[in-house]
Chains A and B, each alone.
Chain A
Amino acid sequence: MAEIPFPLPDLGEGLIEATVLEWLVGEGDQVERNQPLVEVETTKSALELPSPQSGKVLKLHGAPGDVIKVGEPLIVFEVPDDTAGIVGTVPSEEAPKRRVRLSANLDDD
């Protein structure tokens, strides 16, 4: 078995930290990819973080009310050795998040 830590991801908008509101999984739980892991709150909004991978939850960092900085450990997963090496190199199944951009059509004026 291998341990894979998952740090608090960059939440954009120049945010540097988030406060844990509530854990939605517990240590020892088997979680699936995209399963909601935790609710956190930033200075701008509250959000739910989905799991980046499947695996067994080994350790949770931070109790409700604790502040975690971006890049600091949030959760540690335990995965079988044969999958540990390739995590992070497998292409994501998900299409990139769609961004809609409105562009002016100058010919229409």
Chain B
Amino acid sequence: MGRHAGSPVHHTVEGTDPGLNVQTHEPESPAPLPPVLLIHGFASSVALNWEQSGWIPALLDAGRRVIAVDLPGHGLSAAPEDVDSYSPSRIRADLLQIAFDEGARPLDPARPESGLDVIGYSLGSRLAWEFGATQPALVRRLVLGGPSSRDPLAEFDLAAAQRFLADGTPIDDESTANLVAMALASPNSDMYALLSLVEAIKEEPFDAAEAVPQQPILIVAGEKDERAAGLEALHSLVPSAQLMLIPGRNHVNAVTARAFKQAAIEFLS
């Protein structure tokens, strides 16, 4: 399995190097299909969201070339101090550069390997939605796992989280308290980088209706995912999208579900 950390080609976007950890994985028997870009969720990482969960081996078995990126402040990526490095628009620009550097090329009907398929989970689904909407010439198909139509991070009570981290003052807002608990439970998480990401997201909250992707879309969520309540709102913007609910699974454990992987691999084949 070919794999490396860091890109051999190194480009900066807007003059600064984002220091993102990029992993590419080459299949033993490549299928004539575009590479797959994987975008993980908040307080997760390539290792947690895509490696340990079995996604990367499953995609490689299906002959797919995989490009996986740790978001800023996550996994093995750098955790810059400036909030701008965490803005969703900046992350999308970095992902576009990385995809290009790793060989993804604009869709060309004569070349089946052209284009890029994108799979996102949770916050990664929001980024994938916007990435697909803004890059129609590159992105072929989208799989959105555990997405929200509202943005739980945009409603995050940053001041309460900072007070809690400073002196343990309990957090009143339930969603904020859950996100902080999730971030604290996440191995090796950099809490200050995660709060910078939240701050940047509050400046650019998700507005699904603002830019709607035109690609074929598969939406997958655990049946018990409390965020999946907003799925209908998202689905109404893309009525042609396929919707799949995984019985008995929640936002955390839908990630590993075999049914999710099989549906995604089939949808992207």
CB < 8 Å neighbour of B257 from A22, A43, A44:
A22
CB < 8 Å neighbour of A100 from B21, B48, B255:
B21
Residues in chain A near residue B256, CB distance under 8 A: 21, 39, 41, 46-48
Residues in chain B near residue A12, CB distance under 8 A: 187
Is B185's CB within 8 Å of the partner chain A?
yes
CB < 8 Å neighbour of A36 from B3, B6, B54, B249:
B54
A-B contact pairs, 29 of them (CB 8 A): A12-B187, A13-B187, A21-B256, A21-B257, A22-B257, A24-B258, A36-B54, A39-B256, A39-B257, A39-B258, A41-B252, A41-B256, A43-B185, A44-B48, A44-B185, A44-B187, A45-B48, A45-B53, A45-B186, A45-B255, A46-B255, A46-B256, A47-B53, A48-B54, A48-B256, A50-B57, A98-B5, A102-B76, A102-B78
Interface residues on A, range: 10 to 19
Residues in chain B near residue A50, CB distance under 8 A: 54, 57
Number of B residues contacting the other chain (C-beta, 8 Å)?
23
Is A34's CB within 8 Å of the partner chain B?
yes
CA distance A102 to B5 in the complex (A): 11
Are A48 and B53 within 8 A (Cβ)?
yes
Residues in chain A near residue B258, CB distance under 8 A: 22, 24, 36, 39
Residues in chain A near residue B48, CB distance under 8 A: 44-45
Residue of B nearest to A39 (CB): B256
Query: Given A36-B54, A98-B5 in contact, is the A44-B186 Cβ separation under 8 Å?
Result: yes
Interface contacts beyond A22-B258, A44-B185: sample of 4 additional A-B pairs, CB < 8 Å, sorted by A:
A12-B187, A39-B54, A46-B53, A48-B52
Within 8 A of B (CB), among A47-72: 47-48, 50
A interface footprint on B46-66 (CB within 8 Å = 1, 0 otherwise): 001000111001100000000
CB < 8 Å neighbour of B253 from A36, A46, A100:
A46
- Interchain nearest-CB distance for B61 vs A (Å): 10
Residues in chain A near residue B58, CB distance under 8 A: 36
Within 8 A of A (CB), among B200-233: none
CA distance A34 to B5 in the complex (A): 23
Are B3 and A45 within 8 A (Cβ)?
no
Are B57 and A45 within 8 A (Cβ)?
no
CA distance A12 to B187 in the complex (A): 10
Are B5 and A46 within 8 A (Cβ)?
no
- Interchain nearest-CB distance for A39 vs B (Å): 4
Q: Return the 5 tightest CB-CB contacts between A and B, nearest first.
A: A48-B54, A47-B52, A46-B253, A46-B256, A100-B5
Are A34 and B76 within 8 A (Cβ)?
no
CA distance A70 to B21 in the complex (A): 31
A interface footprint on B154-197 (CB within 8 Å = 1, 0 otherwise): 00000000000000000000000000000001110000000000
Residue of B nearest to A44 (CB): B185
Are B257 and A45 within 8 A (Cβ)?
no
CA distance A13 to B184 in the complex (A): 12
Residues in chain B near residue A44, CB distance under 8 A: 48, 185-187
